[in-house]
Structure 1
Amino acid sequence: MKIDMKKDGTVIVPEEDIKRLKILLKEARQVGAFAADSVLALAAMALNKGIGELESEVNRKKLAAKYEEITSE
């Protein structure tokens, strides 16, 4: 995937990272982890934070939701 930056040129995101971002976007939407609404927006966040950090954030949200579910029973 190519992301055109007006002043800085083009950023090329490898296909394996795009696959990770698509999976991450789906999971993030399920738990409401962040406001990214597209792979492109998530790619921009990943350029800032890193994909691994975003994945960790989603996992923390999923674990917190699971914890709430368990403790509310």
Structure 2
Amino acid sequence: MQGAGHGVVTVRFETRGSGPGSARTFPVDTGDISNASPLDSLDWPDYIGQLSVEGSAGASAPTVDDVGDR
């Protein structure tokens, strides 16, 4: 949901992978929309796949010695 007020609700249709999506405005009492889990919009397979690619390319910083006690 993008916003609500004055008897209407605006919904954006997008996922992490799709980027900005279209928006539609509905009356608050419409049967055309229902609650959803925001976690479902995260495109987990694409996200995890990208982490795997970055991890195999050495995207993480190298480890260093702890010099705090020297």
TM-score by length of 1: 0.34
- Larger Rg belongs to: 2
Structure scoring higher RCO (CA < 8 A, sep ≥ 6) equals 1
- Judging by fraction of residues, say which structure has more helix: 1
